[in-house]
Amino acid sequence: MRFVGLVAAMLGLLAVACGPPPAGGPVELTVPDGAGFRSVVDSLDSRGVIGAPALFTLYARVRGADRQVRSGRYRFETGVEWKEILDALTEGRVLTRSVTIPEGWTLGQMAPRIAEISGSPPDSVLTLLSGDSAHLRFRVPGPGLEGYLFPDTYRFAEGVAPERVVATMVEAYNGFWTPTRRARLDSLGMTEREVTTLASIVQAEAGNMEEMPLIAGVYHNRLEAGWRLEADPTVLYALGGPRERLLFAAIDSVADHPYNTYRQAGLPPGPIGAPGAAALSAALEPAEVPYMFFVAGPDGGHVFSTTLAEHNRAVAEYRRRRAGAANRGSGGTRP
């Protein structure tokens, strides 16, 4: 052992003495999965990252590093010490890229972004995400993965497997569910799927985070009273995406769809998008308010009402403002 240590020390001194190539700009290279160490050394040498490849190989073997190189894409500065190069290769300090998944996004919106970071075809990623039994594989309530891929900014190595991206996002979603929050589920008498579904509707409805507890309070009140939710975002989900205006004819066209909360009682079968932490928290801790209705108000917020008469007046005001906007050429949305 003393001899091996002495050899390693001598090679270390030789590495310093021989020195790497003169410092230059950064160099990127990819180590394919299963690549032999010789091909790695050849790539480093040809790109000017190391000098004396035979000595570098011997130095790596004495350190045992030649059998521990991890695949991935790396960036090295020319002129860096050999020890730092080997440490990076054996510790897997690969290049990473950030990917942001906004709150409220559906699986269809996420698929191209996950495909970009993974280098996989978008269609194959969408197939992975939208499989009917995908929730069983990743152990979330379902149905499917809709609503269970937590919206956030992540960093992944380029070429990461899409399954790894999904697993990381599911892990972030599961991280929300602390023991305290699961206890709150029990006190509400709701399941994790139900709260996540409600949170996804709150996420889609809210113009700002401050309103989320109020909107959640309205929906809790309607559920407790046995009223239909009549949530526009669920109908748009049934229709397959957003529309400039949601007309009653469109609502009637999907009357039998389980996500049409104008025609179907209670919550839809599952989430309609990915709720963030604020929406999930609002669904768990709704504001205790008497409101049963809300309609779009000025400045991107909503006007909340307790009675139908109050709500009808708020709707009339909304339509008056929308008509004025249309006359100015800006259009509007339902109601």
Q: What is the pLDDT of residues 94-147, one digit of tens each?
A: 888 899 999 999 999 999 999 999 999 999 999 999 998 999 999 999 999 999
The phi-psi region of residue 242 (left if phi > 0; otherwise alpha if psi is between -120 and 50; otherwise beta) is beta
Same domain, 253 and 184: yes
Same domain, 81 and 108: no
Domain membership of residue 335 (yes or no) is: no
Mean pLDDT across the stretch 291-313? Answer: 92
Q: What pLDDT score was predicted for residue 244?
A: 81
Same domain, 203 and 282: yes
Q: Is the pLDDT of residue 15 over 60?
A: no
- C-alpha 298: how far from its chain's center? 30
Global confidence as pTM: 0.82
Domain membership of residue 267 (yes or no) is: yes
More confident residue, 219 or 17: 219
Same domain, 312 and 235: yes
Q: What pLDDT score was predicted for residue 171?
A: 98
Q: Is the pLDDT of residue 6 over 60?
A: no
Q: Name residue, tokens 């269609």.
A: 123
For residue 18, give the CATH number of its domain: 3.30.1490.480
Give 37-94 pLDDT, tens digit per residue.
999 999 999 888 888 899 999 999 998 898 999 888 888 988 888 999 999 999 888 8
Q: Is the pLDDT of residue 246 over 60?
A: yes
Q: What pLDDT score was predicted for residue 330?
A: 35
Same domain, 319 and 215: yes
Same domain, 65 and 148: no
Task: Tell me the pairing of strands 153-157 and 96-100.
Answer: antiparallel
* The domain boundary residue, chosen from 124, 152, 176: 176
Q: What pLDDT score was predicted for residue 115?
A: 95
Helix/strand/coil for 244: coil
Domain membership of residue 332 (yes or no) is: no
The share of the chain scoring above pLDDT 90, in percent, equals 65
pLDDT band at 326 (very low <50, low <70, confident <90, very high): low
How many structural domains does the chain have?
A: 3
Convert 73-102 into a string of H (helix), E (strand) and C (coil). EEEEECCCCHHHHHHHHHHCCCCEEEEECC
Same domain, 183 and 321: yes
Mean pLDDT across the stretch 184-197? Answer: 97
Domain membership of residue 303 (yes or no) is: yes
Helix/strand/coil for 147: coil
Domain membership of residue 33 (yes or no) is: yes
* The domain boundary residue, chosen from 131, 152, 176: 176
Q: Domain limits at 266?
A: 179-327
Q: Is the pLDDT of residue 19 over 90?
A: no
According to DSSP H, which parts of 131-276 are helical? 134-138, 162-176, 179-188, 192-205, 212-225, 232-239, 248-253
As given in the structure block, the two tokens for residue 150 are 């937590």
Q: What pLDDT score was predicted for residue 247?
A: 82
Q: What pLDDT score was predicted for residue 243?
A: 85
CA distance 319 to 64: 74
* The domain boundary residue, chosen from 33, 58, 91: 91
Same domain, 231 and 122: no
Please count the other Cβ atoms lying within 10 Å of the Cβ belonging to residue 233: 22
Same domain, 156 and 47: no
pLDDT band at 319 (very low <50, low <70, confident <90, very high): confident
pLDDT band at 334 (very low <50, low <70, confident <90, very high): very low
